[in-house]
């Protein structure tokens, strides 16, 4: 291909591109002065005129431009009719190459004369495409075959066309930044040359055939398609395959005559692609109508052809694509953003609702060609809404917003994936059928994730437990227990424990969610429900310790609006002790409008207007939801700061647990979030539980079961996760929660730095992440060590040796003392928390709660421990006498049997008295009464 031809092709391409661009820009100005009917006429003529220009250029240049035209001709769902009718001509055979050229290529490639290869060869080609043409032939042994022969010189033409296409895309991105197709053309430049080597196509064909043949009729995800067999060794430019007599998809008369059900046909093709993408991770990237036939023999299975452009994706990308699909089906913003992060799609702006709407476009139902105009209008309307939201979010003016690209990085693997979805949609439009992709492809996406989780379950892989070093012999036995319990009861779990200021357990196991097979890691963040109350109560104690507040202070003194409706006598200690009489506050709101709890100011306003149901200080009833807003209002009014500012100042920063303890998550951590699900077997047990005497009177047993079953639906949504709900919306890792209770166990003394084994180091995440475009650092895994600490042997556990690094501390007592800081100055903080000694008069006699924490008795009846459990099984607590703290986080909500088994084993191993909350017969707190199973 000489320079003269290269320059000529380039000039033709750019000349037509500029003419079309100027034509459309001129029409945009012209239609402003036209009425409705005349506007339509102007646009129709403009489309027709430019469609003919495009068609003529593509026919003249052939090569890559024909393939582009074939792709565009299938997009009847989004392109004007003029383009579809013109470009459809490219689906038919192009002018054939000479028979002399074809025979010369075959003999050169196969090294034999035609007479030694075939007993018969049909001179007229079956089809001529942009890269090759296909002839029917008969082998010497009598087999009927097709011979695919590459055009001479097409490789050079294709490569040159890719350069021209890249230049045009660059120019469009400069002129109209919102239409930046660079990621798509970059991926095409990488993949398209592979089509020029038929050796690749032969191997791809064998692979896809092998993958799809593994499905069988008993498998619900089985598919029924035909794929021609590769007959003999291929070469770069010649491919011989089994001949299959079929009907072309554009031959509507034959489809009708043979009685082909076009709906079932396209559904089966779609199922085949669901299997290739989500099950195999290996799929044909070019499903245009010319690459399919239909068997003439009932039941008229589709015949899949041409596997030149075939994409292989990693297991991680396959999971991410499946998760993206299911997040669209479920409307789950968190899962969608996590999927984006996993696949490497980086957004420059945090707009989860708009991101979900755009993602759903890919999986929307296909529309027949006659609905194309309406579909285009719908998509345009949605685009305008999203642009308006973008302008509001970014504060950009209209011109700036038009030039702003919200995508910072788009993964190449996803380009071919989206192209396939668009081609499939175009295919169904061409055949005038409607396909519900979310129904057809869902089983395959679910199988992709669930199959991965089965592969990584405890029965088959030790990697079900995160590969971190074992801190102690107790932890080694705990991990064996988790493997024994298995995936029936555990989806994802973290367990962390401190003893005498040192980490003795830091284990993560399982997966992040039902549809998220990624392994739980130490820095994964779990929703912990009422565990949050123990964090919120700690902030109130911190303010009292700083002299900003008194336990016996009347709330109305610091929060004037609160003192109405018989609440003027309610004191801070009444709220902490669950005796404020507001146990039912917000209950009606939750029934009528659950999402109102996401509005912090309005929730505080509703709380301030509530009326007590019982005399303040007289009875102890669990304030299951109102507790958080009551404490939150107290915290903000007493401190003069926002709730989250106090949380960071009092707990997050001093304990160095940034990024792993939140009440209301910020944007940017979705990829580390665990997703809730429910153990449905245990839900039945909730119905059989006795009505609890201290539960809110407006909750019946059946209502409790409904609440438990519905909680994941509400608390997995992004707007709820981002809300400030200080009674129920904590998100934390077990290691952050255990460290918090380790400080409480030591009367406010901050423990030495967390174990250096734990990767990434605790505190290494920013509490408020960088913008979404920031790259997430790769996690490094530690190496296992078995050296023991002789000082710990007499204490009932054996620690492994400690590696020194910048996060590690000098293990001498003097060095530790020099570095110690405190979060509480009050040496009697334990008495204050548990409502003992000087603080006993502030609590309800023999109540389950001290001041904000559930207090636990040991088997001797002595109060030695405190903490707070959450609905579903997560918990955090500490034992003061034994300087021990422990946290368990789970994402499979259950009756708490897993949590109890874990705590019982660890306490027994260490010789620590088991708190009654976690015993088989001891008195349980309200949350554990809901979540703890029978003994």
In this predicted model, what pLDDT tens digit does every residue of 383-392 receive, in sequence order? Answer: 777 777 777 7
Predicted local confidence at residue 820, as pLDDT: 46
* Catalytic option among 161, 280, 286, 306: 286
Give the C-alpha separation, 487 to 458, whole Å.
7
What ranges do the domains of the chain cover?
3-92+155-190, 99-154+194-312, 321-455
Q: Which residues contact 209 (CB under 8 A, 6 or more apart)?
A: 227, 229
Give the C-alpha separation, 725 to 628, whole Å.
6
Token representation of residue 120: 């018969």
496 near 893, Cβ under 8 Å?
Answer: no
Map tokens 């705990």 to a residue.
Answer: 478
Predicted local confidence at residue 190, as pLDDT: 73
Give the C-alpha separation, 87 to 72, whole Å.
7
Give the C-alpha separation, 438 to 270, whole Å.
11
Token representation of residue 589: 């709101």
Give the C-alpha separation, 536 to 167, whole Å.
58
853 near 868, Cβ under 8 Å?
Answer: yes
Q: Which residues contact 99 (CB under 8 A, 6 or more apart)?
A: 123
Q: Average of pLDDT values for 697-718?
A: 65
Token representation of residue 2: 């000489």
Predicted local confidence at residue 934, as pLDDT: 33
Predicted local confidence at residue 428, as pLDDT: 84
Element (H, E) at 890: strand 884-890
Question: Domain 99-154+194-312 belongs to what architecture?
Answer: Orthogonal Bundle (1.10)
Predicted local confidence at residue 184, as pLDDT: 67
Residue-wise DSSP of 788-815? EEGGGGGGT--EEP---STT----SHHH
Residue 506: pLDDT band by 50, 70, 90 thresholds?
A: very high
| Predicted confidence (pLDDT) at residue 932 exceeds the cutoff of 50 | no
Instruction: Pick 449 or 555 by higher pLDDT.
Output: 555
Residue 796: pLDDT band by 50, 70, 90 thresholds?
A: low
529 near 870, Cβ under 8 Å?
Answer: yes
395-416 pLDDT tens trace: 777 777 666 667 766 777 787 8
- Alpha-carbon distances, residue 931 vs 529, 555, 678 (angstroms): 12, 32, 11
Instruction: Pick 134 or 70 by higher pLDDT.
Output: 134
Instruction: Pick 592 or 251 by higher pLDDT.
Output: 251
Identify the bridge partners of residue 857 per DSSP, sorted by sequence position: 863
Predicted local confidence at residue 91, as pLDDT: 64
Predicted local confidence at residue 367, as pLDDT: 65
Give the C-alpha separation, 427 to 76, whole Å.
9
Predicted local confidence at residue 824, as pLDDT: 94
Predicted local confidence at residue 375, as pLDDT: 66
Ramachandran class of 547: left when φ > 0, alpha when ψ lies in -120 to 50, beta otherwise: left
Closest by alpha carbon to 896, among 712, 710, 746, 678? 678
Task: Point out the least confidently predicted range of 13-27, 283-297, 301-315, 441-455.
Answer: 441-455
Continuous H helices in 732-889: 734-745, 813-819, 829-834
| Predicted confidence (pLDDT) at residue 806 exceeds the cutoff of 80 | no
Q: Average of pLDDT values for 648-659?
A: 96
217 near 294, Cβ under 8 Å?
Answer: no
Task: Point out the least confidently predicted range of 69-73, 224-228, 904-908.
Answer: 69-73
| Predicted confidence (pLDDT) at residue 53 exceeds the cutoff of 80 | yes
Closest by alpha carbon to 493, among 728, 676, 767? 676
Give the C-alpha separation, 593 to 55, whole Å.
56
Token representation of residue 866: 């405190």
Continuous H helices in 689-812: 701-715, 718-721, 734-745
The answer to whether the Cα torsion of 528, 529, 531, 532 is positive or negative is positive
Q: Which residues contact 168 (CB under 8 A, 6 or more apart)?
A: 13, 14, 17
pTM for the predicted model, two decimal places? 0.74
Residue-wise DSSP of 130-190? SSEEEEEEEETTS-EEEEEEEPTTHHHHHHHHHHHHHHHHHHHHHH-GGG--HHHHHHHHH
**Mean confidence (pLDDT) of the chain:** 83
Predicted local confidence at residue 686, as pLDDT: 54
| Predicted confidence (pLDDT) at residue 393 exceeds the cutoff of 70 | yes
Predicted local confidence at residue 711, as pLDDT: 73
| Predicted confidence (pLDDT) at residue 696 exceeds the cutoff of 60 | no
Beta strands in 218-301 (DSSP E): 238-242, 246-248, 282-284, 292-295
Give the C-alpha separation, 526 to 464, whole Å.
17
482-505 pLDDT tens trace: 999 988 889 999 999 999 999 999
Predicted local confidence at residue 632, as pLDDT: 96
Instruction: Pick 698 or 345 by higher pLDDT.
Output: 345
Element (H, E) at 517: strand 516-519
Beta strands in 276-386 (DSSP E): 282-284, 292-295, 302-304, 310-312, 346-347
**Cα 652–Cα 658–Cα 663 angle in degrees, nearest 5:** 65
- What burial class does residue 297 get, using C-beta atoms within 10 Å of its C-beta: 0-12 exposed, 13-18 middle, 19+ buried? exposed
Give the C-alpha separation, 252 to 432, whole Å.
11
Predicted local confidence at residue 807, as pLDDT: 38
Q: Which residues contact 4 (CB under 8 A, 6 or more apart)?
A: none
Give the C-alpha separation, 790 to 837, whole Å.
38
608 near 563, Cβ under 8 Å?
Answer: no
Residue 920: pLDDT band by 50, 70, 90 thresholds?
A: confident
Instruction: Pick 798 or 568 by higher pLDDT.
Output: 568
Report the range out of 277-286, 364-373, 412-421 with the highest average pLDDT.
277-286
Is 286 annotated as catalytic? yes
Predicted local confidence at residue 719, as pLDDT: 85
Instruction: Pick 174 or 793 by higher pLDDT.
Output: 174
356-378 pLDDT tens trace: 777 777 677 666 666 666 666 77
Task: Point out the least confidently predicted range of 90-94, 429-433, 673-677.
Answer: 90-94
- Alpha-carbon distances, residue 878 vs 106, 324, 863 (angstroms): 80, 40, 12
């Amino acid at each position: 291909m000489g320079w003269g031809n290269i320059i000529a092709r380039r000039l033709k391409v750019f000349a037509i591109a500029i003419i079309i661009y100027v034509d459309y820009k001129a029409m945009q100005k012209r239609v402003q002065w036209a009425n409705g009917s005349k506007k339509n006429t102007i646009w129709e003529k403009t489309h027709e005129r430019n469609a003919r220009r495009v068609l003529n250029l593509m026919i003249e240049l052939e090569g890559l431009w024909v393939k582009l035209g074939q792709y565009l001709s299938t997009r009847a769902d989004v392109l004007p009719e003029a383009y579809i009718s013109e470009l459809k001509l490219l689906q038919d055979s192009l002018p054939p190459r000479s028979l002399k050229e074809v025979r010369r290529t075959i003999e050169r490639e196969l090294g034999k004369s035609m007479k030694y290869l075939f007993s018969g060869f049909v001179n007229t080609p079956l089809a001529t495409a942009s890269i090759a043409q296909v002839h029917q032939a008969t082998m010497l042994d009598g087999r009927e075959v097709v011979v695919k022969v590459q055009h001479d010189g097409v490789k050079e033409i294709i490569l040159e066309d890719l350069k021209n296409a890249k230049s045009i895309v660059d120019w469009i991105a400069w002129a109209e930044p919102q239409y930046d197709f660079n990621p798509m053309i970059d991926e095409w430049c990488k993949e398209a040359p592979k089509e020029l080597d038929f050796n690749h196509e032969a191997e791809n064909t064998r692979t896809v055939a092998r993958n799809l043949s593994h499905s069988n009729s008993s498998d619900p995800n089985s598919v029924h398609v035909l794929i021609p067999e590769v007959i003999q060794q291929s070469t770069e430019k010649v491919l011989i395959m089994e001949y299959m007599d079929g009907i072309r998809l554009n031959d509507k008369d034959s489809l009708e005559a043979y009685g082909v059900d076009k709906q079932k046909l396209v559904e089966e093709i779609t199922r085949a692609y669901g299997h290739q993408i989500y099950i195999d991770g290996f799929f044909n990237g070019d499903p245009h109508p010319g690459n399919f036939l239909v068997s003439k023999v009932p039941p008229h299975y589709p015949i899949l052809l041409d596997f030149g452009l075939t994409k292989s994706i990693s297991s991680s990308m396959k999971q991410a694509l499946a998760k993206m699909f299911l997040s669209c089906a479920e409307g789950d913003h968190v899962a969608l953003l996590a999927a984006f992060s996993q696949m490497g799609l980086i957004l420059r702006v945090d707009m989860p609702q708009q991101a979900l709407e755009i993602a759903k476009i890919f999986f929307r139902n296909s529309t027949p060609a006659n609905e194309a105009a309406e579909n285009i209008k719908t998509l345009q309307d949605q685009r305008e809404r999203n642009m308006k939201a973008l302008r509001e979010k970014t504060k950009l003016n209209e011109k700036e917003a038009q030039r702003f690209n919200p995508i910072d990085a788009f993964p190449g693997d996803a380009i071919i994936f989206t192209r396939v979805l668009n081609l499939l949609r175009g295919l169904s439009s061409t055949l005038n059928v409607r396909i519900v992709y979310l129904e057809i492809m869902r089983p395959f996406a679910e199988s992709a994730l669930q199959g991965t989780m089965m592969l990584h379950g405890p029965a088959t892989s030790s990697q079900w437990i995160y590969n971190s070093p074992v801190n102690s012999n107790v932890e080694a036995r705990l991990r064996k227990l988790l493997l024994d319990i298995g995936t029936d009861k555990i989806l994802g779990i973290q367990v962390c424990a401190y003893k005498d200021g040192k980490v003795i357990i830091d284990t993560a196991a399982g997966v992040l969610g039902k549809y998220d097979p990624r392994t739980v890691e130490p820095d994964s963040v779990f929703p912990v429900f009422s565990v949050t109350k123990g964090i919120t109560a700690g902030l109130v104690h911190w303010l009292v310790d700083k002299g900003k507040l008194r336990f016996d202070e009347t709330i109305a003194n610091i929060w004037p609006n609160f003192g109405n409706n018989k609440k003027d006598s309610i004191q801070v200690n009444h709220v902490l002790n669950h005796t404020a009489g507001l146990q039912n506050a917000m209950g009606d709101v939750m029934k009528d409008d659950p999402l109102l709890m996401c509005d912090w100011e309005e929730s505080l306003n509703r709380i301030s207007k509530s009326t007590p149901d019982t005399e303040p200080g007289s009875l102890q009833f669990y304030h299951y939801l109102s507790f958080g807003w009551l404490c939150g209002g107290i915290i903000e009014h007493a401190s003069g700061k926002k709730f989250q500012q106090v949380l960071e100042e009092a707990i997050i920063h001093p304990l160095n647990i940034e990024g792993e303890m939140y009440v209301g998550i910020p944007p940017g951590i979705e990829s580390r979030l665990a997703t809730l699900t429910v153990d449905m077997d245990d839900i039945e047990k909730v119905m059989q539980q006795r009505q609890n005497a201290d539960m809110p009177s407006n909750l019946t047993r059946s209502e409790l079961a409904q609440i438990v079953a519905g909680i994941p639906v509400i608390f997995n949504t992004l707007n709820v996760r981002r809300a400030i709900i200080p009674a129920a919306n904590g998100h934390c890792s077990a290691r952050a929660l255990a460290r918090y209770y380790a400080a409480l166990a030591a009367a406010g003394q901050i423990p030495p730095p967390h174990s250096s084994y734990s990767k990434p180091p605790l505190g290494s995440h920013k509490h408020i992440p960088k913008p979404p475009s920031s790259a997430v650092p790769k996690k490094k895994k530690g190496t296992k060590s078995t050296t023991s600490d002789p000082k710990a042997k007499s204490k009932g556990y054996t620690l492994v040796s400690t590696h020194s690094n910048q996060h590690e501390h000098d293990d001498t007592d003097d060095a530790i003392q020099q570095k110690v800081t405190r979060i509480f100055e009050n040496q009697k903080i334990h008495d204050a928390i548990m409502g003992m000694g000087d603080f006993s008069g502030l609590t309800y006699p023999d109540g389950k709660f001290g001041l904000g924490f559930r207090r636990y008795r040991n088997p001797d009846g002595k109060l030695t421990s405190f903490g707070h459990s959450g609905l579903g099984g997560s918990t955090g607590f500490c034992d003061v006498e034994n300087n021990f703290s422990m946290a368990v986080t789970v994402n499979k909500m259950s009756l708490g049997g897993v949590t109890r088994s874990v705590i019982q084993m660890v306490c027994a191993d260490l010789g620590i008295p088991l708190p009654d909350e976690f015993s088989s017969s001891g008195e349980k707190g309200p949350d554990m009464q809901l979540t703890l199973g029978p003994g």
